[in-house]
Amino acid sequence: MSDDFHVENGRKGGEARAKKFWPKIKHSIILFIRFPELNQDEIAKRVGASQAFVSKHTSYNALKIARLSAQSDSMSEDELEALLEKIKLEVELKNEIVKPKRSKL
C-alpha cells in the first residue's frame, strides 16, 4: 500500500502528528536556556505541556551546557566549579548504570 492511500484514509503517521508539537518543543527549549531560574514544572506550565514532556526534550547535554553558560554570567567562580563538578558526576553515573537484561519467558 502506498503512503497516498494512508493519507487519503486519514492516517497521518508519526511525523505528521509530531508537527503540532514542534512549537511547544522550541518554546520549552528557549525557556530552559534563557531563564535558568525556572524549573521544569514552571516551564511546563508556561508552555502548556506536562513536566515529563519538558524533561524529555531538555535532557540533552548540549542544552544543559548552554543553560549553564547562560547562568554562569551571574555566578561566582566557586559556584560555577561546584556546578560543573555536579554535572560531570551525573554524566559519569549515567554512563556507568547498566541496564538490566530482559529475561525471555
Q: Over pLDDT 90: what percentage of the chain?
A: 14
The whole-angstrom separation of Cα 50 and Cα 36 is 18
pLDDT digits (tens, 9 = 90+) for 52-92: 999 988 888 777 888 888 776 666 778 767 766 877 788 78
Nearest to 25 by CA among 63, 59, 53, 65: 53
Q: Has residue 102 been placed in a domain?
A: no
Start-to-end CA span in the chain (Å): 35
Looking up cell 518543543, which residue turns up? 25
* Structural domain range at position 19: 3-96
Q: Has residue 85 been placed in a domain?
A: yes
Q: List the grid coordinates of 46.
A: 508556561
Q: Has residue 76 been placed in a domain?
A: yes
Q: Has residue 8 been placed in a domain?
A: yes
Number of domains within the chain = 1
Confidence check: pLDDT of 25 > 80: yes
Q: Has residue 103 been placed in a domain?
A: no
Q: Has residue 25 been placed in a domain?
A: yes
The whole-angstrom separation of Cα 67 and Cα 74 is 12
Per-residue model confidence (pLDDT) at position 46: 94
Per-residue model confidence (pLDDT) at position 6: 52
Q: What is the dihedral of CA 60, 66, 67, 72, to 10 degrees?
A: 140
Q: Has residue 105 been placed in a domain?
A: no
Per-residue model confidence (pLDDT) at position 52: 92
Per-residue model confidence (pLDDT) at position 1: 47
Q: Has residue 67 been placed in a domain?
A: yes
